[in-house]
Amino acid sequence: MSKCARITGTGSYIPENTTTNESFISNRFFDIDGVEINEPNTAIIEKFTAITGIKERRYIDPDWVTSDMAFSAAKEAIASAQVDPEAIDYIVVAHNYGDVKQDSIQSDMVPSLASRVKNLLQIENSDCVAYDILFGCPGWLEAVIQMNAYIKAGMAETCLIIGSEALSRVVDKHDRDSMIYSDGAGAAILQGSETDGGIIAHATETHTKEEAHFIHFDKSYQKLEKNTRHYIKMYGRKVYNFALKNVPVAMKNCLDKSNVSIDQIKKVFIHQANEKMDEAICERFFKLYDREVPENVMPMSIGELGNSSVATIPTLLDLVLKAKIEGHKIEPGDHVIFASVGAGMNINAVVYQF
């Protein structure tokens, strides 16, 4: 029997600092052309909440950076899996912006965040290889796909996979999209197993003909700002339409490869990008099989935690596995599907059996 890759432990770091939508009431919002939006912030926030489902988000402390959150989530995952840190073969950290210190205009990625996490874990084993992956919001799931290949090829036995992001450090306060983003980290231990299940199938796509710059870095929408700093920017409507068109199909391609029936899927773990978008993706996915969306199939955390990019799926998984999201649990033998979409534009999906 060939080895399968199983998740044996999870962890997450959710910052304690909560920022509600009302915190943005005094912001001055501008459009892409630098024109101030002539609409009360109360109306802007009301529309934002209705579309995204986000009511609050979490930000890290001023003296913390992305790698600190990654380390915290990693420690919890290692304890959950009850593995010896010295036995870890690979540490992979998915992120997009590196360590950005408070009020800094520069990202710090040298050494890699994975090397920093390994250092903080005080792992002495030089055969434990640490590296980063930049793949947009699907980065953590893509790292899982990579480590699955390593385990199946006999190149690894135990892998630590982390998604960590501090988006609060790269948002433009004059952009309405700044209300979407948050901070956090999630981690999992992936290990080889002789039993059935684990990762059954996966799919990954990259679309770059017209889509490559749907999410990018650019100057503030407030044109009078006298700094050279750039911020995360997104063509929201284009991302929304792209996701609805392509993600359900990618999920179906993955599920079809797995030979698992749509009726066996107990949970859909989807990147927490936008509540209405995620619900529409899920609906279209099940519709491809002439099915209605089953009740309670899609756990959500975006309302309270916002969009923390690579951290949303591993954090959501950790919360569900530890019974911290009401009404959601996973039993041994359950089949689930993971799916994500983000900058690149990248899409991926994984069918997994617990």
Name the helix (H) or strand (E) containing 256. helix 236-258
> Is residue 49 over pLDDT 90?
yes
Average pLDDT of the chain to the nearest whole number: 95
Answer yes or no: are the C-beta atoms of 94 and 139 closer than 8 Å: yes
Class of residue 227 by CB neighbours under 10 A (exposed 0-12, middle 13-18, buried 19+): exposed
Map out the domains of the chain as residue ranges: 4-196, 200-353
> Is residue 146 over pLDDT 90?
yes
Answer yes or no: are the C-beta atoms of 297 and 265 closer than 8 Å: yes
CB atoms within 10 A of CB 204: 18
Mean pLDDT of 171-187: 95
**What is the token pair recorded at 337?**
């599907």
Answer yes or no: are the C-beta atoms of 183 and 15 closer than 8 Å: yes
Bridge pairing between strands 183-193 and 158-166: antiparallel
**What is the token pair recorded at 133?**
């992956």
> Is residue 224 over pLDDT 90?
no
Mean pLDDT of 110-128: 98
3-state class of 162 per DSSP?
strand
Fold agreement between 4-196 and 200-353: yes
What pLDDT does residue 281 have?
97
Alpha-carbon distance of 352 to 141, in angstroms, equals: 12
C-alpha angle 180/328/288, rounded to 5°? 75
> Is residue 153 over pLDDT 70?
yes
What pLDDT does residue 228 have?
77
CA–CA distances in Å: residue 243 to residues 40, 94, 109, 207, 347: 30, 21, 29, 11, 9
Give the CATH architecture of domain 200-353.
3-Layer(aba) Sandwich (3.40)
Alpha-carbon distance of 139 to 142, in angstroms, equals: 5
> Is residue 2 over pLDDT 90?
no
Alpha-carbon distance of 166 to 326, in angstroms, equals: 26
Answer yes or no: are the C-beta atoms of 199 and 4 closer than 8 Å: yes
Q: Max CA-CA distance within the chain?
A: 64
> Which tens digit of pLDDT belongs to each residue from 332-354?
999 999 999 999 999 999 999 99
Nearest to 125 by CA among 162, 83, 185: 83
Give the CATH architecture of domain 4-196.
3-Layer(aba) Sandwich (3.40)
Q: Which amino acid is at 339?
A: A
Alpha-carbon distance of 124 to 149, in angstroms, equals: 25
> Which tens digit of pLDDT belongs to each residue from 253-264?
999 999 999 999
**What is the token pair recorded at 330?**
């996973």
Alpha-carbon distance of 230 to 295, in angstroms, equals: 42
What pLDDT does residue 210 have?
94
What pLDDT does residue 225 have?
66
DSSP 264-321: GEEEEEE--S-HHHHHHHHHHHHHTTT-PPPTT-----HHHH-B-GGGHHHHHHHHHH
What pLDDT does residue 103 have?
86
> Is residue 310 over pLDDT 90?
yes
Mean pLDDT of 57-84: 97
What pLDDT does residue 232 have?
94
> Is residue 316 over pLDDT 80?
yes
Please say whether the dihedral angle defined by the alpha carbons of residues 44, 46, 49 and 51, taken in this order, is positive or negative. negative
Bridge pairing between strands 56-59 and 17-20: antiparallel
